[in-house]
Amino acid sequence: MSPTLHTIAISVGGILAGLALAGALLWRQQQALQVARYQATHDEITGLPNRRLLLTRLRAALAENTPVGLVLLDLDGFKAVNDTFGHDTGNLLLAHIGRLLTGLDAPVEVAARLSGDEFALLVRGDRDDTAAAAHAAWRTIGAAPVRVEGGHITVSASVGYTYLPAYLTGSPRQLLAEADAAMYQAKQSRTGVHGHEPLAAPTGRRSRDRH
């Protein structure tokens, strides 16, 4: 090989090696960005969407002018689980509840963990759909004791729900406040599930999705 061709071959090899290195660095950056985005919108313990992602999906649902329901629930006596079995067991229980809620059928669109032992369900549907999702979550959580290291844990939940008909407008903050108040009523009355009833539609008013 002539000296000129040898020089060209070395140069080309260096360029290809540089391109390969740049490609590998770009791939790693993209992977790191995807991981960062996932961590910003998902709960570390359960893998469920977190409050931020739930609010994003809730805003999008409200913008479509269709009936939307929101269910909030927290676990009864969860602090006692942490105190008795330890936080690792408590985290395992939260992950178990997350899997149960993820397995709920439509019209449940999103199951999320908000904080602590509080979870939420975004429902695409009317009052009956939302009430059905709330009762399904309550029954599913309390269906059977959860096996943990050192014994079994009987789990129950207090569930509150609200919904927004097509003829009303509302905000994520409003729905969260209404569902939270309903959940508090369920816990205080020990009824398991309690629903918030929105205002009735004014007589003769067209539904908002026809405006």
Q: What are 32-83's pLDDT values in tens digits?
A: 565 556 668 999 999 999 999 999 999 999 999 899 999 999 999 999 988 8
Taking 60 as the threshold, does the pLDDT of residue 206 lie above it?
no
User: Percentage helix, strand, coil, to 5, in the chain?
Assistant: 55, 20, 25
Mean pLDDT of 121-133: 96
* pLDDT value, residue 45: 95
For residues 120 and 205, the model is more confident at 120
Taking 90 as the threshold, does the pLDDT of residue 125 lie above it?
yes
Mean pLDDT of 178-186: 96
**Angle in degrees, CA 134, 157, 183, rounded to 5:** 65
Q: For 70-96, what is each residue's pLDDT tens digit? A: 999 999 999 998 888 889 999 999 999
Strand partners, 153: 146
Residue 87 dihedral angles phi and psi, to the nearest 5°: -70, -30
Question: Residue 80, class by beta-carbon neighbours within 10 Å (0-12 exposed, 13-18 middle, 19+ buried)?
Answer: exposed
